[in-house]
Structure formats: structure tokens, C-alpha cells
Structure 1
Amino acid sequence: MVQLITICGFALGSICQTESQKDSLPKRYDVLKTQHKIQIDGKVDKVWKKAAWTSYFQDIEGSKKPVPRFKTRVKMLWDEQYLYILAEMEEPHLWATLTDRDAIIFNDHDFEVFLDPNNDQEQYFEYEINALGTIMDLFMTKPYKKGGPMVMGWNSDRLLSAVQLKGTLNDNRDIDKGWIVEMAIPYKDLERPGRISQPQPGATWRINFSRVQWTMDMDGQSYKRRIGPDGKRLREDNWVWSPQGLIDMHVPEHWGYITFREK
């Protein structure tokens, strides 16, 4: 038996929604403008105190799935050059193996950003990073289900990023606390013919964040992904800011909204 929780509000009328309907509503976040230089080093300096944390991530399918085992949340700021992102992730077992640019980073634990400045679900950008700081970035002309191929040859060459580890990487002899990702996404790299790439105060873009997490087993002093009874590795967990309702990040109409604010 499934129990639905009803949430009702009253303002010039009555608005009621079930918890499952609430999952389908994209999350929203106001990105405040900063006048101060942000040093991209993976450290949470005082400039970040101005920004609020997002809600903690949920399973990609929403509240019908269990709450993620480890907490993840994000802050954002902006200025005339960059969209700044700070992600904080709990992680008792820091693990990463991939070191080559544009490797398939979600084969490690990773943090991902999906960004659609034009909010039309057509041309968007994806960034992935692991605990080694290795980057995969790509451009999508349209979602896969609409026939859009990924353009892996696109690189965000001006991207600034850093990772700060709270523990020891690939060492299972202790319990780690987590890791922090800091990014500065340059608007210059988002330029496309006839497209919006520079935010203005009050502008709204679509964005979502994903965290891929694997179930691990000990392997000597390091780790390996767990293999199931069928001899195949267990499926990864997908934890996101704004639930997609299905296991697919490439459905931009389900992403959250960010609005750029000066105050």
C-alpha cells in the first residue's frame, strides 16, 4: 500500500499536491552575484558564506526510492565571467582511478553538472569530475532520445576546477569524511551561434546536478566495484538535486531552474 502525503497551501485559493507530484516540480535556486574574486582551490572561503545551500540530493527517481546513503548539496554564485559551483559530498570511501581528460568519468564516483542556458532543451552542456580532479566535458545538440549525438570533441578550455579531499584516496584502512568540488564555468566557453551564453540579472537557466556512486568492496588496501551474483557489477546509484522521475539525466525538461540575482 502506497501512502500519499498531501501538502496544501492557501493564497488567493488552495493549492494541494501529493508528495509524488511534488517530486515532479523542478527545484529552484536564486544565484547571487558576487563582487569578490573566488579562488578556485576547493576550499570553502568566506565569499561562499553569501550563498545558500541547496536542499540535499535525492534519488534520481524521487522520493519513491530510498534516501541516498551519503549527503550531497551545492552552492552557486555568479559574476560577469563565471558561474561558480561548490559541491559538498559525504564519502566514507574516497575512490577514483581515471586520469585522462574526457575519460568516461562516471565509471568512478563522480559529480556532474548539466547546463542549458537557453532553457529550450536543445543545446546543453555536461561536466563530470572525479576525486582526482579529472574532467569530462561534452556538448549535446539535443537529448539522446531526440537523436542528439554527444560532441565529445567540445572542451571547456577556460574551465577552472579544484577538488579538496577530506580523507585518503584509494585507501580503505581508514574512514574518510568526503570531498568538495569547486568549479568556475566560463560563459565564454558556452558561446554558440544565435544562443544565449551570458546571464543578465533576472535571467533563468536550466541546470541539474548528479552524483554517481558505486557500491564498493575492499581490494587489498584499495577498492573495487562490487560484482553481483550474475557476475556483473552492481548498478550505480544516481543522486540528483532536482529529481528526474526516471533514470536518465538527459531529460532537460526535468532539470531545476536557477535565476541570476544582483541582490
Structure 2
Amino acid sequence: MATGEPGLLGTQSAVLWDDDNLYIGFWVEEPYPKAKLTERDSIIFNENDIEVFIDGGDCYYEFELNALNTVYEVFFIWRDAYLRGGRFDIPEFDLIDRKSFTFGGDFDRKPESFWWGTNPRGLRWAFLDWDFPGVRSAVHIDGVLNDPSQPSRGWTAEIAFPWTGMEHLANGRSLPPEEGDEWRLFLGRFQKLAVGENEVQAAWCWTPHGKYDTHMPDRFTPIQFSKSELTISYPPGLSL
């Protein structure tokens, strides 16, 4: 994610759409798939996972999924856009009644910048109890989960985001999109790897961010919507 270098393990993703949903699929090579968390909105990024972010201009949405199909999601609003009488000044994003906190960014965990961050735009309000209306996901394990004695090929994930749930993310764009419309998405994967006696969490995504921070919407990949037919090549044995 930081450098744009190739990932150690095979990872592919695809984006499709129709008038009802935005569909995102992942194929994840993982010789020994692992996942333990089963409660919704558990801290999934502490495990191996796939992640989707959708940029909405003055806001963005985060979705994480592990190999047990456990979902974690957060809705972020830039503080400079959270104005009295503005489009986010609604009960759905009430700072007192909802589970919200300020957030500076993944990269800003040094003591001197932890609370304020270093993103030029500043802080975000993060709503942990926000659920994307109607989102659906499914996972298939190509092998055995949580068994280090049995090598596996990996796992696939499929997610459907209804356009009817994108009201706050549309930012003036049509729902569903029109031909040629452009949105910014982050499609990534986080994988724990043993390096000597240490464990690191590698991050791979479509567009490099220049630093280890997913929360950089200006670096998300531009996705242009088209109704033209595409020829898609899948890894051997995979069909989404």
C-alpha cells in the first residue's frame, strides 16, 4: 500500500454494477486461512481481512471482512464539513446520541500527532454504529479454516452494496450511476506475516498511498462506470 510493490500472496478484486447494487469480489490466496472474530463490528483489522472504502467527498465509508464473513464498518465525516444546518446535521449523525469519536488517520499514531493527525484536511468524525443499509456479503473457503496442518488455496469474498444505501456518499452524483460517472474506491487486503521473530501486517491495494494509511480518500482508485461489456480473466478455478 505504501510503495506499490507487488504483494507476496496473490490477491485479485473485481467491481461490477447494475441498477440495484455495486458488487465487489475478492480472491485471496492464503495457504493457511485464519479467522477467529465472529461478532459484528469486532476489530476485524486485527486479523487478516479484505477492505473496501467508498469516498463521498465530505465523507467516506469503511467496510472490512474476515474469512468468517464477519463485518466491521464505520462512516467518517470530515469535521470541516460537519456544519450546523448542513447535510450531516441530522439525527443519523448526532454526535451525542450516536457512537462517534474523532479520528486522525492510521499513519498518525505517533504520540505528538495521535489525537490530531497529520492529514492536511484535519480530523474526521467516525460513527462506529453506522450500518450500510442492506449490505450483503458471502465468503467461501477454498480449503480448511484455522487448521495449520492442512494447506489451502485461499478464500473468496463477494459483497453487494445497494445504491439505495449510498445517499450520503453520492455527493451530487446519480444513484445508480450514469454512464461515465466516476467514484473513488479503496480495495485492499491486510495480511499478517512472520518476519523472523516479529509479526508484521502487510497491506496491498490497487493504488499506492505513499504511506501506510488507508484513510486517504484522495489516493483511492478512480472507478469509471460503464455499461459496455468487459472480458474478465479469473485466476484458475475461480469464478465470481
Q: TM-score, normalised by structure 2?
A: 0.72
Distance 1:162 1:216, change over 3 A: farther
Aligned to 2:127: 151
Deviation at 1:163, TM superposition (A): 0.3
Following superposition, the deviation at residue 153 of structure 1 comes to 1.2
Q: Does 1:251 align with 2:216?
A: yes
| Cα contact 2:194–2:200 (8 A) shared by 1 | no
Which residues of 2 match residues 7-86 of structure 1 at below 5 A?
60-63=1-4, 65=5, 67-86=6-25
Residue equivalent to 1:19: none
Say yes or no: does 1:205 pair with 2:183: yes
Unaligned ranges ≥5, structure 2: 79-102, 105-118, 229-240
Instruction: Give the partner amino acid of 2:2.
Output: E
Q: Deviations over 1:13-48 (max 9, x none)?
A: xxxxxxxxxxxxxxxxxxxxxxxxxxxxxxxxxxxx
Matches within 5 A, 1:230-245: 234-245=199-210
Residue of structure 1 aligned with 2:52, choices 113, 135, 145: 113
Match of 1:106, SS? helix
Across the aligned residues of Structure 1 and Structure 2, the Cα RMSD in angstroms comes to 2.0
| 1:165-244 alignment, distance < 5 Å | 165-192=141-168, 195-196=171-172, 198=175, 199-215=177-193, 228=198, 234-244=199-209
Percent pairwise identity: 33
Which aligned runs of 4 or more in structure 1 are off by greater than 6 angstroms? none
The answer on whether the counterparts of 2:16 and 2:22 sit within 8 Å (CA) in structure 1 is yes
**1:157 to partner: Cα distance:** 3.4
Aligned-partner residue type, residue 60 of structure 2 = Y
The 1:165/1:194 distance shift into structure 2, 3 A limit, reads: closer
Which runs of 5 or more residues in structure 1 are unaligned?
1-59, 218-225, 229-233
Provide the aligned length of Structure 1 versus Structure 2: 186
| Residue 135 of structure 1: aligned partner | 71
What displacement does 1:107 show? Answer: 0.8
CA distance in 2, matches of 1:107, 1:184: 24
Partner Cα distance (2:14, 2:128) in 1: 27
Q: Answer yes or no: is the 8 Å Cα contact 1:73–1:241 preserved in 2.
A: no
